[in-house]
């Protein structure tokens, strides 16, 4: 849809702008948030959440586009969706499945859930990039997005850890995350099996990125705006 695309592009630009700001802040450059010369630059929680939401929104947009591209190009008529049932590695992490459940979860728990999901995707994203590169006629639309998602996922993880440090300081959390074991499937010689493995991975990525985006927006409105966005 044109409207969707144009609004996505607009939000994408905004995201990139703010992401670059996020990066600059990391390098202790002078930023409006961190006054220059401040030793302990404490970014406000509001800004942390704003940036995290922007990142998560961006990552889900990329995942969605990547999945659609793959589906259109490789998965037509193969009925992959019928097989991609209950096949995401992060399903072992119990996460709220609707709004009521999410609202009942304490924000610290929700934050750790988000972190768990994010950490679970570090490894798969890395291998996704490697394997997409190795695909015959590796489509640039998919590869470039995969690379970008991997990059932004790391940033989001760092941002989330900062948020946790501010919201929930001092508590050492257990780093719980799901182990991904789908690499052999991605490297199968059989094209059908391999393509399904990619499809499944992209499908799960799209879902989990949406999940993280939703949780973060809930948390932002709850913590920063006091449930009055």
CA trace torsion 203, 208, 214, 219 (10° rounding): -170
* 42 vs 227 by CB, closer to another protein: 227
188 backbone dihedrals φ, ψ, rounded to 5°: -65, 150
Is 145 a binding residue for another protein by CB under 8 A? The answer is no
- DSSP secondary structure string, 150-197? HHHHHHHHHHHHHHHHHHSTT-------PPP--HHHHT-SSHHHHHHH
3-state secondary structure of 144: helix
* 93 vs 176 by CB, closer to another protein: 93
Is 77 a binding residue for another protein by CB under 8 A? The answer is no
Q: How many residues bind another protein (CB under 8 A)?
A: 36
Would you say 57 is a known binding-site residue?
A: yes
d(CA 173, CA 111): 10
3-state secondary structure of 87: coil
Is 217 a binding residue for another protein by CB under 8 A? The answer is yes
* 61 vs 152 by CB, closer to another protein: 61
Integer Rg of the chain from CA: 18
| Residues numbered 81-120 forming contacts with another protein, rule: CB under 8 A | 81-82, 84-86, 91, 95, 97-100, 103
Would you say 2 is a known binding-site residue?
A: no
* 77 vs 169 by CB, closer to another protein: 77
Interface residue with another protein among 61, 112, 152, 178 (CB under 8 A) is 61
Beta carbons within 8 Å of 68's beta carbon, 6+ residues apart:
none
| Residues numbered 148-207 forming contacts with another protein, rule: CB under 8 A | 207
State the binding site for Zn(2+).
57, 213
Per CB under 8 A, residues contacting another protein are 1, 3-4, 7, 10, 57, 60-61, 64, 81-82, 84-86, 91, 95, 97-100, 103, 207, 210-211, 213-214, 217-222, 225, 227-229
């Amino acid at each position: 849809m044109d409207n969707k695309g144009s609004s996505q592009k607009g939000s994408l630009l905004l995201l990139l702008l703010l992401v670059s700001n996020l990066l600059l802040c990391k390098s202790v450059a002078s930023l409006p948030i961190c006054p220059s010369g401040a030793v302990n630059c404490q970014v406000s929680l509001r800004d942390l959440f704003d940036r995290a939401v922007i990142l998560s929104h961006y990552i889900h947009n990329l995942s969605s586009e990547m999945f659609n591209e793959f589906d259109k190009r490789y998965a037509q008529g193969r009925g992959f969706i019928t097989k991609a049932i209950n096949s995401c590695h992060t399903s072992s992490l119990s996460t709220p499945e609707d709004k009521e459940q999410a609202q009942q979860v304490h924000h610290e728990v929700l934050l750790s859930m988000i972190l768990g999901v994010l950490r679970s995707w570090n490894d798969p994203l890395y291998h996704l990039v490697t394997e997409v590169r190795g695909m015959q006629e590796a489509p640039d639309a998919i590869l470039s997005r995969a690379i970008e998602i991997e990059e932004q996922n790391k940033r989001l993880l760092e941002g989330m850890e900062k948020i946790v440090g501010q919201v929930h300081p001092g508590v050492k959390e257990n780093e719980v995350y799901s182990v991904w074991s789908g690499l052999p499937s991605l490297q199968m010689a059989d094209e059908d099996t391999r393509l399904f493995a990619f499809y499944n991975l992209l499908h799960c990525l799209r879902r989990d990125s949406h999940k993280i985006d939703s949780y973060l927006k809930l948390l932002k409105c709850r913590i920063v705006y006091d449930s009055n966005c």
